[in-house]
A and B are shown apart, each in its own frame.
Chain A
């Protein structure tokens, strides 16, 4: 395993150009002028490149060799023995280690691409640490080789220290025969901010993910997910937020059913006094097949909490299509514009370029969704 390489080696890496086309769909550019660092793992084989002051990017194995304390973070939020998948990962894994040093603020994103190519099961453990007062943006793109079939198992743990801000955007683009079972957890310390976005618009066999976030005093978190369940896809997705004193969380999901099955879960537990949480779950049925199940849950542990949720599932309103047609749009253009609008969620605190990545993914998908 080689150490983190620099910009020049990165620009010359032949493996990268071979998967660049697929990676583009998940926001991975492999363009050193627009990224702070880049990490690529093909199956279990990682390679890390970094060229920004104050940001460390390397494989988790190397981080474990280099820093004794890395083990103190690992498996602290996601339990090693949680289920058969976490157990399998604990036995054999590689993955990324991304860390922003204290007070280091880098607005260009770090990108991490996990690529499933030949193996039956890709097993990944990722650790992201935003040290005190730092600001870190990560785009994590997971994709697979055309016609690949297999399983992507991942554990990711996020530590957002005091006053730090982590924006983590995950864009997935799998193949119809791939199963994905990420297990993630985050701890956001005092006055820290976590913005977490998940985008999955392409066919997949099965995704099951329900990350949990623990928010300490005054911390803020927002989770936004945009998913499309194509025929043959089952997507079970949720977010859990455990709120400490004066913390707040927003969980927003938009799900489109094109014949697959979506289970959209949200759970907010208000533990600390003066915390606030809101769940918003909207589903759009574009098919007679498939289903969308929305399960919002709120749990208050003391009287001084403010928790709310709204959920709505339905089809595209015919009067909206007609309205746009009365402005000269064809039925298809009107439908596409409404789907595009449905997925256009205002994500608070999202840097402009990350918004562009999400927009691009949504743009491509809403054309296909017609």
Chain B
């Protein structure tokens, strides 16, 4: 069954074209990794999928489970089962993490009792019990921000999950926790047949791939998808020869 489809997508932001003819087809149970140099449009693609109003879709469309969601508000997309962990979320003064988690639980359709139980369990899993009464992202360290994002997703329990650099700025102690959480969120701890969750992960370093396996790797370059293939091979190419060489090789292989 199909999860997310991006069809001929063109996106503008701040009067500039930043994505061109982007196509993606992610099926239920699949996890994709999105590679690309800085400014290649990775975060923009995630922003367009979640419906950030700064990113205007000027061409093509986005469908989720067969339904066109291109014109929907962000919250409507989320309630249909799309979730995102931001790279640099804003600080929300005055709203405690626990209160936001309760709101997430409500969106996820949990009863109050179920919510409290799940929040407690998940906070423990993430080692975030002491952070619950703090204002969201207020004075959080890099690792705490990433863990808080994942914790919110654990409560929301989306079917399709986008993670924007979940491994950047996370120290060694926390990376294992982050990895475990993503593995669980994307059901990578289950057999292929059992997996329902799908996802799209942006990673710069590929660090996270040591903890979570993925089915496909995609390289974005200058706002276009330049390469699709085995994520581990792509990562190896990029780290060995750089993006441009990786893309050249991709193109050569395609034309062969």
* A interface residues with partner B (beta carbon < 8 Å): 317-320, 322-331, 333-334, 337-338, 340-344
Task: Report if B69 contacts A (CB, 8 A).
Answer: no
A328 surroundings in chain B (CB, below 8 A): 75, 78-79, 103-104, 107-108, 156
Do the beta carbons of A320 and B90 come within 8 Å of each other?
yes
Do the beta carbons of A341 and B95 come within 8 Å of each other?
yes
7 pairs, A vs B, C-beta closer than 8 Å: A319-B90, A327-B78, A328-B75, A329-B75, A329-B103, A340-B95, A344-B95
CB of A357 to closest CB in B, whole Å:
18
A340 surroundings in chain B (CB, below 8 A): 94-95
A327 surroundings in chain B (CB, below 8 A): 78, 100, 103-104, 107, 152, 156
Q: Assuming the A-B contacts A331-B73, A337-B103, are A326 and B93 also in contact, with contact meaning beta carbons closer than 8 angstroms in the complex?
A: no
Do the beta carbons of B156 and A337 come within 8 Å of each other?
no
How many angstroms from the CA of A323 to the CA of B100 in the assembled complex? 11
CB of B15 to closest CB in A, whole Å:
18
How many angstroms from the CA of A320 to the CA of B92 in the assembled complex? 7
How many angstroms from the CA of A338 to the CA of B89 in the assembled complex? 15
Do the beta carbons of A326 and B90 come within 8 Å of each other?
no
B75 surroundings in chain A (CB, below 8 A): 325-326, 328-331, 334
How many angstroms from the CA of A334 to the CA of B107 in the assembled complex? 13
How many cross-chain pairs have Cβ atoms below 8 Å apart between A and B? 67
Do the beta carbons of A322 and B74 come within 8 Å of each other?
yes
B53 surroundings in chain A (CB, below 8 A): 318, 322
Counting chain B CB atoms within 10 Å of each CB, the highest count among A318, A319, A334 belongs to: A319
- Would you list the 7 A-B pairs with minimal beta carbon distance, nearest first? A341-B94, A328-B107, A325-B74, A328-B78, A341-B95, A325-B75, A344-B94
A330 surroundings in chain B (CB, below 8 A): 73, 75
B50 surroundings in chain A (CB, below 8 A): 326
CB of B150 to closest CB in A, whole Å:
13
Interface size class on chain B is 20 to 34
Nearest A residue to B91, CB-CB: A320
A342 surroundings in chain B (CB, below 8 A): 93-94
How many angstroms from the CA of A340 to the CA of B156 in the assembled complex? 22
Counting chain B CB atoms within 10 Å of each CB, the highest count among A318, A322, A326, A340 belongs to: A326
CB of A68 to closest CB in B, whole Å:
49
**Given A322-B52, A322-B74, A327-B100, 7 extra CB contacts under 8 A:** A322-B53, A324-B100, A325-B73, A326-B75, A327-B78, A328-B108, A329-B107
Q: Is the interface of A mostly helix, strand, loop or mixed?
A: helix
Do the beta carbons of A317 and B156 come within 8 Å of each other?
no
B74 surroundings in chain A (CB, below 8 A): 322, 325-326
Nearest A residue to B74, CB-CB: A325
How many angstroms from the CA of A341 to the CA of B137 in the assembled complex? 14
A331 surroundings in chain B (CB, below 8 A): 73, 75
Do the beta carbons of A323 and B104 come within 8 Å of each other?
no
Do the beta carbons of A338 and B103 come within 8 Å of each other?
no
Nearest A residue to B136, CB-CB: A323
CB of A317 to closest CB in B, whole Å:
7
Nearest A residue to B104, CB-CB: A327
CB of A302 to closest CB in B, whole Å:
34
A338 surroundings in chain B (CB, below 8 A): 92, 94-95
CB of A274 to closest CB in B, whole Å:
29
How many angstroms from the CA of A328 to the CA of B157 in the assembled complex? 11
A317 surroundings in chain B (CB, below 8 A): 90
Counting chain B CB atoms within 10 Å of each CB, the highest count among A323, A331, A338, A342 belongs to: A323
CB of A348 to closest CB in B, whole Å:
15
Task: Report if B140 contacts A (CB, 8 A).
Answer: no
Do the beta carbons of B94 and A343 come within 8 Å of each other?
yes
CB of A369 to closest CB in B, whole Å:
14
Do the beta carbons of B90 and A323 come within 8 Å of each other?
yes
> B108-147: which have CB < 8 Å to A?
108, 135
A341 surroundings in chain B (CB, below 8 A): 92-95, 135
Task: Report if B86 contacts A (CB, 8 A).
Answer: yes
How many angstroms from the CA of A295 to the CA of B135 in the assembled complex? 27
> B51-103: which have CB < 8 Å to A?
52-53, 73-75, 78-79, 84, 86, 89-90, 92-95, 99-100, 103
